[in-house]
Structure 1
Amino acid sequence: MLSGRYPSWVNMNNLHVNLVWNNFGIDNSNNSILPSGLNCLQRDTPCFGSPSYSSFAVDSGGSRPIRASDNSIYEPDDASLQLASYYVTNSTRWGVSNIGRFMDSANGSYIIYTSRRFTNTLDSELFQTARMSPSSLRYFGIGLKNGMYSVVLQFAEIFFPDDQTWKSVGKRIFNIYIQGDLKETDFDIKKQTNGKSYTAVQRQYTVEVTNNVIDIHLFWAGKGTCCIPEQGFYGPSISALSVSSYDSNGEGDPGSQRNSTSSRTGLVVGVVVCVAILGFLALAGAIVWRQKRRRLEVEMEELFSIVGRPNIFSYGEMKSATDSFSDSNILGRGGYGPVYKGKLLDGRIVAVKQLSSTSHQGKKEFMTEIATISAVQHRNLVKLHGCCIDSKTPLLVYEYLEQGSLDQAIFGKTDLNLDWRTRFEICIGIARGLAYLHEESSMRIVHRDIKASNVLLDADLNPKISDFGLARHYKDSMTHLNTGVAGTLGYLAPEYAMMGHLTEKADVFAFGVVALEILAGRRNFDDSLEEDEKYLLGCAWYLHESQRTLELLDSKLIEFATRKKLRDSSMLLFFAPWACLSDAHRCPRSCPCSRKTTR
């Protein structure tokens, strides 16, 4: 608020002094030494003639004009403001002023950038740049018509991360003044988004312009953090702003005034009706939102009561990780729903399984899978990173396994060379995973849906059992569970399919079928083959009884075994007596196993 004659010494070289918003006397004697545009930002000596503007919009840090979703044009603000400096547009429509110097900061432009997209706004491009200031950042609207105005300020925290590292503790806190009135105290962008970065925040205010100038002032009052995650990123920051006038009173002859009065009456009626409708919609929306929130809280409590406190991801994180669930990221589809490849903010590659609305599995299976996989840890069981329950369809987040599912590796078109030793090790890995579930884990678990598509392969072709939605637990003292039949045809043990008696042997039987598929290189049922060859199990038993067991092998393995002189062919005997794995099967006379059923 300085006054008097404008001092000539402030133009000395290497002297950074910002005299914006003072009240110096400017006349012909000192006008020649006045820095360009400063007279536009003096309080009592504006540079405009008659006021001509009623709106303006600025994209802070932007390099080109942007048309927003409401068709307003945001002018770019890429002025190089350093230390104490200011800038006024050629049209003298608006200006910006910066005061302060960052401590030991390499950031000389006071503009920050990001390439991230923002999912909670239609104008994501506006939030990919932002202007900062170490102390005081002011935007001025110049030559505005006096009246009531709507001021919209838009923010996004694009520097402080929202991960679990030490960098996430950084805080940016500042005050917001408009026309000198304090509107926000200790405003924290990240706090307004519940700690989430890359989320747009908007503030709207109604203010009065009386002297044809509007002053928007963001001021750092020393709160927050100055040096985390890096020095020089602590001051006020803004992504975009817009100022627009409300309709002013018209002037004209009495007829036009009557028309104006009628128009106003119609406008008032229309506004009242719109407000009533909006109020009703808002009430209905609030009720729906409260019901949804209550349902979500109940589901969270139920989930925590079952499995403790698993890692919960937000729907926004999952949408960003999978590029809005793009079809190009689909890894496969199963009975549960599609599986997408995704990348979390911390860089981890994950597989995101989405419950399809047409899936036969539901909330019960979703909870079962989380409860089961959270309670067990084994190198041959897929690892669960967390889940998401605030979306329309529940999501499960697993570790990403590079080689996909076993059925794709064996039956699909792939460049993988699964030789005899590799297939044998895959069988052993699956067996280890099942042995852990049946005997070694803290609870006794039957998977109930062992099949090739539920076995995933990592980069080294190590198998991992997945999809625990149908799993069941039971106590060691129980001989079996009586339950409804679930699983996949072709892998169901006969006593389970016929009587509903569930034991670990149901998994063992299914494992035997998978093992035969691995060795034969074909599915357990192939309708394209001759009648006596369609069913793999019947074909395998027929070849075994005919002492032609090796004819079951994949032709690729036969070529390999021939070169090796069949020295590993004895391994096949481990898988031949598949019929003896089930209580309902009686061992034929030629079956090479005892009458007593063994695991």
Structure 2
Amino acid sequence: MQVWVEYHGLEKKMDVTLAPFKVPKPSTPLLSLSRDLSSIVNREMYVGFSSSTGSVLTSHYVLGWSFKVNGQAEELTLSRLPKLPRLGPKKKPKVLTTGLPLILVSLALTGVSGAVYWVRRKRKFAEVVEDWELEYGPHRFKFKDLYIATKGFKDKELLGAGGFGRVYRGVLSSNKLEVAVKRVSHESRQGMREFVAEIVSIGRLRHRNLVQLLGYCRRKGELLLVYDYMPNGSLDKYLHDQPKVTLNWRQRFGVIKGVASGLLYLHGEWEQVVVHRDVKASNVLLDGELNGRLGDFGLARLYDHGTDPQTTHVVGTLGYLAPEHTRTGKANPSTDVFAFGAFLLEVACGRRPIEAQSTTENAVLVDWVYSCWSKGNIMEAKDPNLGSDYVAEEVELVLKLGLLCSHSEPEVRPTMRQVLQFLEGDVSFPEMSSLSLTSSGLIFGRGQGFDDYVMSYSSSVWKGFSNCSVADSLVSEGR
């Protein structure tokens, strides 16, 4: 091993850097300590070494060292360092001739099979590590560790799968921490550096309603994202496909407020603006106490406060995509609000934003909720699985707020701060009668620069609602 111990007098800072033999000095120290040593260091002092052992017998050798005051110590010539001493007496073999041919053949076969095994194992755990990633330090996981944690990514450890990857449960052997590992593919190396930089930045987010992103691993054309494990899984399994366990209204309303709080933190309370770009029930995970946490930041984008977001590819899930995002490619907090509106209706109604298999006029959820409101009975849209144990005022608020957040005009949608104020009851929601309502505006289909995006989906998914309008207008003049 190599160790560098440096004290910077002007900065009053000591750095300790560690590296294996023949590896260049890393740019990031292993340990740093801010301490003024002027009262400790004398004009004349001895410099030396000390070592200690634990319960296991060990030996320590200093093969070479370099020291300098007021400057950079001279680099060691590693090739000229002495060899480590041989430990223990040199034993003479008892058998020199008897069975020697058999031993040699056995060793040769063992060597060949061992070499094949070593090559295969190296290929199996091969990953990509470039110089620019060294600065990310603990955010980088080894593929081998994740492979062992997930038992080789076995199907029995599979938590879920979607259009952007498969998620596995794992237990890290180093600290026995339960994690969720998501495997996603990346289309090319272009932009990989920026993508990883954003992933590492997102790893610094800290909020009780966000799933903690612990780090990543990069291997060939694949990225592995490591998250905190949420024992109760995703919210959608409690809402759709005849769930075994149905959340009551109190639990649902708590999840809604939790996700709203998390989005407010992303949009306005962190050091940068974070746009999630994939807010939906399947990306909301429930912890051991059924608290909602927004997760899956694989599509998230960051930009500085006071600046405009850059144009990106249109990504997300059909039914949650704001119309302006599909036209311009720009994702901002308002596009997250639109997706949150679809999420509100999904939780309150127990239905997906678009029922792909439905051929009825109610295939688009926001259209149906709008039609219920226009007939004067918006509560008809609530999830029948709620039974009678719910607070009618809260359900009605969530349904109306879902329509408002789903407005096709970004400037009409509320901010997440306003959304949370409505949900907490700090601000009264405006009377719907005071809002001018129409059902023309947001059209799923032709005529709004949406054609290319629509055609990227299979015709079987699109069939039945390509010309359906989505209720989008809660227009309030002067608001």
* Separation (CA, whole Å) in 1 of partners of 2:188 and 2:360: 32
Residue correspondences, number? 335
Q: Identity of aligned pairs, percent? A: 33
Label 1:416 to 1:317 Cα distance change in 2 as closer, same or farther (>3 A): same
Return the letter of the residue paired with 2:384.
Answer: S
- Counterpart in 2 of 1:486? 315
> What are the within-5 Å matches in structure 2 for residues 534-549 of structure 1?
534-549=363-378
* Separation (CA, whole Å) in 1 of partners of 2:197 and 2:56: 40
> What are the within-5 Å matches in structure 2 for residues 29-108 of structure 1?
none
* Partner deviation per Cα, 1:133-182 (whole Å, 9 max, x = no partner): xxxxxxxxxxxxxxxxxxxxxxxxxxxxxxxxxxx9654549xxxxxxxx
SS in 2 for 1:473: strand
CA apart distance, 1:469:
1.9
The gaps in structure 1 that reach 5 residues or longer are: 1-167, 175-182, 188-204, 213-243, 250-266
Contact 1:494 1:584 in 2 (8 A): no
* Separation (CA, whole Å) in 1 of partners of 2:326 and 2:410: 12
Contact 2:378 2:396 in 1 (8 A): no
- Counterpart in 1 of 2:95? 209
- Counterpart in 1 of 2:203? 374
Label 1:337 to 1:453 Cα distance change in 2 as closer, same or farther (>3 A): same
- The answer to whether structure 1 residue 407 and structure 2 residue 262 are counterparts is no
Contact 1:365 1:469 in 2 (8 A): no
- Counterpart in 1 of 2:34? none
* Separation (CA, whole Å) in 1 of partners of 2:191 and 2:243: 33
Residue of structure 2 aligned with 1:527, choices 356, 363, 375: 356
CA apart distance, 1:483:
2.9
SS in 2 for 1:489: coil
The gaps in structure 2 that reach 5 residues or longer are: 1-52, 60-83, 414-434, 439-472
* Separation (CA, whole Å) in 1 of partners of 2:154 and 2:310: 41
Contact 2:342 2:366 in 1 (8 A): yes
Return the letter of the residue paired with 1:303.
Answer: E
Contact 1:369 1:470 in 2 (8 A): no
- Counterpart in 1 of 2:276? 447
CA apart distance, 1:388:
3.2
Structure whose residues are more often strand by fraction: 1
Label 1:416 to 1:539 Cα distance change in 2 as closer, same or farther (>3 A): same
CA apart distance, 1:438:
0.5
* Separation (CA, whole Å) in 1 of partners of 2:396 and 2:372: 16
* Separation (CA, whole Å) in 2 of partners of 1:499 and 1:519: 30
Label 1:410 to 1:365 Cα distance change in 2 as closer, same or farther (>3 A): farther
- Counterpart in 1 of 2:86? 185
* Partner deviation per Cα, 1:401-458 (whole Å, 9 max, x = no partner): 0111121221144333311121111111111111001100011111111122111111
* Separation (CA, whole Å) in 1 of partners of 2:172 and 2:193: 27
* Partner deviation per Cα, 1:445-490 (whole Å, 9 max, x = no partner): 1111112211111111111111212222222222443333222221
Label 1:302 to 1:384 Cα distance change in 2 as closer, same or farther (>3 A): same
Larger radius of gyration: 1
- Counterpart in 1 of 2:31? none
* Separation (CA, whole Å) in 2 of partners of 1:539 and 1:360: 43
> What are the within-5 Å matches in structure 2 for residues 343-492 of structure 1?
343-345=171-173, 346-356=175-185, 363=192, 367=196, 370-389=199-218, 393-492=222-321
- The answer to whether structure 1 residue 571 and structure 2 residue 394 are counterparts is no
Residue of structure 1 aligned with 2:128, choices 296, 313, 330: 296
* Separation (CA, whole Å) in 1 of partners of 2:327 and 2:254: 33
* Separation (CA, whole Å) in 2 of partners of 1:391 and 1:169: 40
Label 1:169 to 1:472 Cα distance change in 2 as closer, same or farther (>3 A): farther
> What are the within-5 Å matches in structure 2 for residues 64-213 of structure 1?
171-173=56-58, 185-186=86-87, 209-210=95-96
Residue of structure 1 aligned with 2:144, choices 306, 316, 326: 316
* Separation (CA, whole Å) in 2 of partners of 1:393 and 1:582: 37
Return the letter of the residue paired with 2:133.
Answer: L
CA apart distance, 1:184:
8.1
* Separation (CA, whole Å) in 2 of partners of 1:528 and 1:472: 32
CA apart distance, 1:510:
0.3
* Partner deviation per Cα, 1:491-529 (whole Å, 9 max, x = no partner): 111111122233210000000001100011011111343
- The answer to whether structure 1 residue 595 and structure 2 residue 477 are counterparts is yes
CA apart distance, 1:338:
1.5
CA apart distance, 1:400:
0.8
TM-score when normalising by structure 2:
0.60
SS in 1 for 2:279: coil
SS in 2 for 1:355: strand
Return the letter of the residue paired with 2:397.
Answer: M
- Counterpart in 2 of 1:555? 384
* Separation (CA, whole Å) in 1 of partners of 2:188 and 2:373: 39
Label 1:311 to 1:523 Cα distance change in 2 as closer, same or farther (>3 A): same
Contact 2:168 2:181 in 1 (8 A): yes
SS in 2 for 1:296: coil
* Separation (CA, whole Å) in 2 of partners of 1:507 and 1:444: 12
Contact 2:209 2:294 in 1 (8 A): yes
CA apart distance, 1:393:
3.9
* Partner deviation per Cα, 1:212-236 (whole Å, 9 max, x = no partner): 7xxxxxxxxxxxxxxxxxxxxxxxx
Contact 1:448 1:507 in 2 (8 A): yes
* Separation (CA, whole Å) in 1 of partners of 2:162 and 2:261: 24
SS in 2 for 1:434: helix
Contact 1:426 1:463 in 2 (8 A): yes
SS in 2 for 1:464: strand
